[in-house]
Amino acid sequence: MAVAVLPPALVFAGVRWLFAFAAARVGFDAANPFAWRRWDSGHYLVIAVRGWELFSCARLGGRVEDTCGNAAWFPLYPWLLRPLIALGMRPETAGVWLSGTAALAMLVVLWNGLLRKRGLRGLVVLAMAAVFPGAVYAHAIFPTSLALLFIVLAGTALARRRWALVGLWGAFLSMTYVTGVLLAVPNTVATWLKTRAVRPTVVAGALSVAGFLAVLLAQQLILGHWDGWYRTYQKGLPAVARPLEALMTILQPAFADNPDRRPRTLALQELTVLGLLVLGLGTALVTRHRGNSVRAWAAMAAVLFWAFPLLVGRGVSVYRADALVLPVLLLLVDLPVWMLVSVLVWLLTLAEAMAELFFTGYLV
């Protein structure tokens, strides 16, 4: 029992201390739930308390043809907050507790489901997962940790050949984040690679999409518009972007002369994610003779969750979306321990710097 729980619990406690230290360095108290609230947090909390809202932006002085409200934010996280709020917990406190619990649960599942048998390498990768780029949002009032929990649960179910659970966890992810439906692709392909059978493949894929369809149905019933989420998103994401141009715009501050430390830190995070992606895919290619469906699943999930924000145009905070690229770590477990430890040290440094930007309000 201790071997199953103690490593993730210690890693979780260490990360919480790191973020508390970062908050204190910039004059904030990480024990205060309001320190973990940012712009989108308010949307999730309003959905938890009052539900979805959809109305013409003319009400706020905007264009009459634009749609405003909070329908773009998917509902599972705020729905899970409601019982805690009903018990008398303040919405911000409920958000911090739910996010923290999900972050700890993700580490427990990742350790016991996919890493525990890898010994020291698995332990280092577990620590890397705790401080993966975007990690501060896994502890903030955002659904990031809940989404990561469902992603890891889907990977674990795949490794254990539980096809219905692969799809079910994908469905819950699709109800948590609008991009969660992307996991239907690796869930479907990896199940086919593992079984070469139609029935489990259809089950895993169809259930993964069902969560997204359930959100559309809920919006039709509650708001009268099945596409309320898209109507709200549309004004912020007017067109498909040029992904290479978008990436270079993000990375440019890392190479500028005398850059502002803040955009430079964001650029360094994106460089880190890109480097981990290249390293992970390269390692998977070199070790393909040891390949398995979980490795293929991790590669597809990491690429999709990394590339999608660069494709959808302006309005996406890539530094938050980076957190969902976490499956790439499953491609790195075969690397030498010294290399994994080196990457971990860098991720710790980056996580502390990003946390400072979060607590000072530079990150939204």
Q: Which two tokens stand for residue 126?
A: 């577990």
Average confidence (pLDDT) over 132-151: 98
- Note the pLDDT of residue 98: 98
CA 237 to chain centre: 20
Residue 3 has pLDDT above 90, yes or no: no
Q: Kindly state the average pLDDT of the residues 158-178.
A: 97
**DSSP states of 9-23 as a string?**
HHHHHHHHHHHHHHH
At residue 12, does pLDDT exceed 60?
Answer: yes
Q: DSSP state, 113?
A: I
Q: Looking at the predicted structure, is the pLDDT value of residue 314 above 60?
A: no
Look at the block and give the residue holding tokens 């549309």: 234
d(CA 159, CA 153): 10
Q: Give which of 18, 208, 261, 35 is closest to 132, Cα–Cα.
A: 18
Residue 69 parent element (H or E): strand 67-69
Question: Could you tell me the two tokens for 138?
Answer: 């896994």
Whether pLDDT at 269 is above 60: yes
Residue 264 to residues 114, 204, 319, 357, 362, Cα–Cα distance (Å): 34, 40, 12, 11, 12
The HSE-up count of residue 28 (CA atoms within 13 Å, CB side) is 19
**According to the model, what pLDDT value does residue 140 have?**
98
Predicted pLDDT of residue 288: 67
pLDDT at position 145: 98
Q: What is the pLDDT of residue 292?
A: 82
With a pLDDT cut of 90, the percent of the chain lying above it is: 79
CA angle (308 as vertex; 303, 310 as ends), nearest 5: 110
Model confidence over 228-264: pLDDT tens digits?
998 888 765 555 667 777 788 888 888 877 668 899 9
pTM: 0.96
Sign of the CA dihedral running 45, 47, 51, 54: positive
Residue 183 amino acid letter: L
More confident residue, 93 or 3: 93
Give the sign of the dihedral formed by CA 206, CA 211, CA 212, CA 217: positive
For residue 58 the two structure tokens come to 């003319």
Calpha distance 123→125 (Å, rounded):
5
Could you read off the pLDDT of 212-223 as tens digits, one per residue? 999 999 999 999
The pLDDT, as a whole number, for residue 235 is: 65
Q: Find out whether 55 and 232 touch, Cβ atoms under 8 Å.
A: no
pLDDT tens by residue, 41-53: 999 999 999 999 9
% of the chain exceeding 70 in pLDDT: 95
Q: Indicate whether 188 pLDDT > 70.
A: yes
Do 69 and 54 meet the contact criterion of CB atoms below 8 Å apart? Answer: yes
What's the mean pLDDT when you consider all of the chain? 93
Rounded CA separation 289/212 (Å)? 35
- Taking 80 as the threshold, does the pLDDT of residue 80 lie above it? yes
Nearest residue to 41 via CA among 361, 335, 280, 289:
361
Q: How far is CA 269 from CA 114, 134, 241, 262, in A?
A: 25, 8, 21, 11
Helix spans in the chain (H): 2-25, 39-49, 76-86, 91-110, 119-130, 144-159, 163-174, 184-195, 198-223, 228-234, 243-251, 261-286, 293-311, 318-321, 337-359
Q: Domain ranges in the chain? A: 2-359
